[in-house]
Amino acid sequence: MTYSIHNILRDARILLDRNAFDRPLIPTCDADSRSFNELIASKILTAARQVMEEAPPALLAPGRPVRSRLTWPEGVGRGMAILPLPDDFLRLLSVRLSDWHRPARIITDTDPDYRWQASPFAGLRGNPSRPVAVVCAQPQGHVAELYASAAGPDVTLTMAQYAALPQIIDGGLEIPRRLYDAFISRVGELTRQSFTY
Protein backbone atom coordinates (compact mmCIF):
# COMPACT_ATOMS: atom_id res chain seq x y z
CA MET A 1 0.00 0.00 0.00
CA THR A 2 1.22 3.54 -0.74
CA TYR A 3 1.28 6.01 2.16
CA SER A 4 1.78 9.73 1.64
CA ILE A 5 4.85 11.27 3.25
CA HIS A 6 2.55 13.86 4.87
CA ASN A 7 0.62 11.10 6.68
CA ILE A 8 3.84 9.31 7.67
CA LEU A 9 5.18 12.55 9.18
CA ARG A 10 1.89 13.08 11.02
CA ASP A 11 1.83 9.55 12.43
CA ALA A 12 5.49 9.74 13.48
CA ARG A 13 4.87 13.09 15.24
CA ILE A 14 1.89 11.59 17.08
CA LEU A 15 4.08 8.68 18.17
CA LEU A 16 6.75 11.12 19.34
CA ASP A 17 4.10 13.34 20.97
CA ARG A 18 5.17 16.32 18.91
CA ASN A 19 1.93 17.41 17.27
CA ALA A 20 2.74 21.08 16.72
CA PHE A 21 3.55 20.38 13.08
CA ASP A 22 5.87 23.32 12.38
CA ARG A 23 7.65 23.61 15.73
CA PRO A 24 11.42 23.00 15.41
CA LEU A 25 13.11 20.24 17.38
CA ILE A 26 15.18 22.76 19.34
CA PRO A 27 14.18 26.45 19.48
CA THR A 28 16.98 28.35 17.78
CA CYS A 29 17.64 31.37 15.58
CA ASP A 30 20.04 29.44 13.36
CA ALA A 31 18.58 29.46 9.84
CA ASP A 32 20.57 26.33 8.92
CA SER A 33 19.00 24.11 11.57
CA ARG A 34 16.76 21.34 10.35
CA SER A 35 13.09 21.32 11.16
CA PHE A 36 11.60 18.43 13.09
CA ASN A 37 9.81 17.28 9.91
CA GLU A 38 13.09 17.19 8.00
CA LEU A 39 14.64 15.11 10.77
CA ILE A 40 11.76 12.61 10.63
CA ALA A 41 11.81 12.57 6.81
CA SER A 42 15.53 11.75 6.80
CA LYS A 43 14.76 8.51 8.68
CA ILE A 44 11.88 7.24 6.52
CA LEU A 45 13.78 5.18 3.93
CA THR A 46 16.18 3.75 6.51
CA ALA A 47 13.28 2.69 8.74
CA ALA A 48 11.36 1.16 5.82
CA ARG A 49 14.37 -0.84 4.68
CA GLN A 50 15.17 -2.12 8.19
CA VAL A 51 11.59 -3.21 8.83
CA MET A 52 11.31 -4.96 5.46
CA GLU A 53 14.63 -6.76 5.94
CA GLU A 54 13.57 -8.07 9.37
CA ALA A 55 9.95 -9.02 8.59
CA PRO A 56 8.89 -12.62 7.94
CA PRO A 57 8.37 -13.20 4.20
CA ALA A 58 4.63 -13.82 4.74
CA LEU A 59 4.19 -10.18 5.85
CA LEU A 60 5.86 -8.92 2.67
CA ALA A 61 3.82 -11.09 0.30
CA PRO A 62 2.72 -10.80 -2.37
CA GLY A 63 5.95 -9.45 -3.76
CA ARG A 64 6.84 -8.31 -7.24
CA PRO A 65 7.47 -10.98 -9.88
CA VAL A 66 11.02 -11.63 -11.07
CA ARG A 67 10.91 -11.59 -14.87
CA SER A 68 14.53 -12.57 -15.61
CA ARG A 69 15.56 -15.54 -17.70
CA LEU A 70 17.35 -18.51 -16.16
CA THR A 71 20.86 -19.42 -17.24
CA TRP A 72 22.31 -22.89 -16.76
CA PRO A 73 26.12 -23.10 -16.33
CA GLU A 74 26.07 -26.92 -16.52
CA GLY A 75 23.51 -27.21 -19.31
CA VAL A 76 19.74 -26.69 -19.35
CA GLY A 77 17.96 -28.61 -16.61
CA ARG A 78 21.14 -29.98 -15.02
CA GLY A 79 22.43 -28.88 -11.65
CA MET A 80 22.36 -25.20 -10.72
CA ALA A 81 20.40 -22.46 -12.48
CA ILE A 82 21.18 -18.77 -12.11
CA LEU A 83 18.36 -16.22 -11.84
CA PRO A 84 19.43 -12.55 -12.19
CA LEU A 85 17.55 -10.34 -9.72
CA PRO A 86 16.22 -6.83 -10.49
CA ASP A 87 18.19 -3.67 -9.66
CA ASP A 88 15.65 -2.66 -6.99
CA PHE A 89 15.94 -6.07 -5.26
CA LEU A 90 15.84 -6.09 -1.43
CA ARG A 91 14.75 -9.66 -0.50
CA LEU A 92 13.84 -12.82 -2.37
CA LEU A 93 10.51 -14.01 -1.00
CA SER A 94 9.90 -17.23 -2.91
CA VAL A 95 11.17 -19.14 -5.93
CA ARG A 96 10.23 -22.44 -7.55
CA LEU A 97 11.27 -24.37 -10.64
CA SER A 98 8.87 -26.63 -12.51
CA ASP A 99 10.58 -29.86 -11.40
CA TRP A 100 10.76 -28.93 -7.70
CA HIS A 101 8.32 -30.47 -5.25
CA ARG A 102 8.08 -27.24 -3.20
CA PRO A 103 9.44 -23.68 -3.19
CA ALA A 104 13.11 -23.34 -2.29
CA ARG A 105 14.59 -22.64 1.11
CA ILE A 106 16.24 -19.23 0.65
CA ILE A 107 19.67 -18.53 2.14
CA THR A 108 22.54 -16.13 1.39
CA ASP A 109 26.13 -16.81 0.40
CA THR A 110 27.19 -16.14 4.02
CA ASP A 111 25.04 -19.01 5.35
CA PRO A 112 27.06 -22.07 6.50
CA ASP A 113 24.86 -24.34 4.32
CA TYR A 114 26.07 -22.57 1.17
CA ARG A 115 29.30 -24.59 1.15
CA TRP A 116 27.32 -27.84 0.84
CA GLN A 117 25.69 -26.75 -2.43
CA ALA A 118 28.86 -27.58 -4.37
CA SER A 119 29.04 -31.09 -2.87
CA PRO A 120 29.23 -33.97 -5.36
CA PHE A 121 26.85 -35.93 -3.11
CA ALA A 122 23.21 -35.37 -4.04
CA GLY A 123 21.97 -35.88 -0.48
CA LEU A 124 23.93 -32.88 0.79
CA ARG A 125 23.17 -30.24 -1.83
CA GLY A 126 19.80 -28.91 -2.89
CA ASN A 127 17.64 -31.19 -5.03
CA PRO A 128 14.04 -31.25 -6.34
CA SER A 129 12.80 -32.64 -3.02
CA ARG A 130 14.77 -30.14 -0.95
CA PRO A 131 15.51 -27.15 -3.22
CA VAL A 132 17.78 -24.34 -2.09
CA ALA A 133 18.09 -20.80 -3.47
CA VAL A 134 21.19 -18.83 -2.55
CA VAL A 135 21.14 -15.03 -2.94
CA CYS A 136 24.61 -13.84 -3.97
CA ALA A 137 26.06 -10.43 -4.78
CA GLN A 138 28.06 -10.47 -8.01
CA PRO A 139 29.75 -7.62 -9.90
CA GLN A 140 26.78 -7.33 -12.27
CA GLY A 141 24.25 -7.31 -9.39
CA HIS A 142 22.39 -9.78 -7.19
CA VAL A 143 21.58 -13.26 -8.47
CA ALA A 144 19.88 -16.32 -7.05
CA GLU A 145 21.70 -19.62 -7.50
CA LEU A 146 19.00 -22.31 -7.67
CA TYR A 147 20.04 -25.82 -6.51
CA ALA A 148 19.33 -28.25 -8.07
CA SER A 149 17.46 -29.61 -11.05
CA ALA A 150 17.53 -32.89 -12.95
CA ALA A 151 14.51 -32.87 -15.27
CA GLY A 152 16.28 -31.71 -18.42
CA PRO A 153 15.52 -28.98 -20.96
CA ASP A 154 11.83 -28.66 -20.03
CA VAL A 155 12.62 -27.07 -16.64
CA THR A 156 11.16 -23.58 -16.29
CA LEU A 157 10.77 -20.95 -13.62
CA THR A 158 7.20 -21.28 -12.33
CA MET A 159 7.34 -18.62 -9.59
CA ALA A 160 9.77 -16.01 -8.24
CA GLN A 161 8.77 -13.06 -6.06
CA TYR A 162 10.88 -10.39 -4.41
CA ALA A 163 10.51 -7.37 -2.14
CA ALA A 164 11.78 -4.15 -3.70
CA LEU A 165 13.92 -1.48 -2.07
CA PRO A 166 11.66 1.21 -0.59
CA GLN A 167 11.52 4.41 -2.63
CA ILE A 168 9.64 7.67 -2.29
CA ILE A 169 7.76 8.23 -5.55
CA ASP A 170 5.39 11.16 -6.14
CA GLY A 171 5.30 12.00 -2.43
CA GLY A 172 4.40 8.46 -1.37
CA LEU A 173 6.10 5.37 0.03
CA GLU A 174 4.96 1.83 -0.75
CA ILE A 175 5.11 -0.44 2.29
CA PRO A 176 2.99 -3.50 3.18
CA ARG A 177 -0.05 -2.53 5.26
CA ARG A 178 0.74 -5.13 7.92
CA LEU A 179 4.16 -3.54 8.50
CA TYR A 180 2.99 0.08 8.78
CA ASP A 181 2.82 0.22 12.60
CA ALA A 182 6.28 -1.37 12.94
CA PHE A 183 7.58 1.07 10.32
CA ILE A 184 6.23 4.13 12.19
CA SER A 185 7.71 2.80 15.44
CA ARG A 186 11.10 2.42 13.72
CA VAL A 187 10.88 5.96 12.30
CA GLY A 188 10.22 7.21 15.83
CA GLU A 189 13.07 5.16 17.27
CA LEU A 190 15.58 6.44 14.70
CA THR A 191 14.35 10.01 15.16
CA ARG A 192 14.71 9.80 18.97
CA GLN A 193 18.30 8.58 18.53
CA SER A 194 19.02 11.82 16.65
CA PHE A 195 17.84 14.11 19.44
CA THR A 196 20.54 16.39 20.75
CA TYR A 197 20.10 18.71 23.68
Nearest to 95 by CA among 67, 53, 121: 67
For the cut 80, the answer to whether the pLDDT of residue 28 exceeds it is no
Question: For residue 176, what are the contacts with CB-CB under 8 A and spacing of at least 6?
Answer: 1, 52, 55, 59, 60
Summarised one tens digit per residue, pLDDT across range 87-122 is 999 999 999 999 999 999 999 999 999 999 988 777
Q: How many CA atoms lie within 13 A of 165 on its CB side?
A: 9
Q: What pLDDT shows up at residue 33?
A: 42
Mean pLDDT calculated for residue range 24-31: 44
For the cut 50, the answer to whether the pLDDT of residue 180 exceeds it is yes
Domain residues of the chain, as ranges?
Answer: 2-55+176-193, 58-164
Q: How far, in Å, CA of 62 to CA of 86, rounded?
A: 16
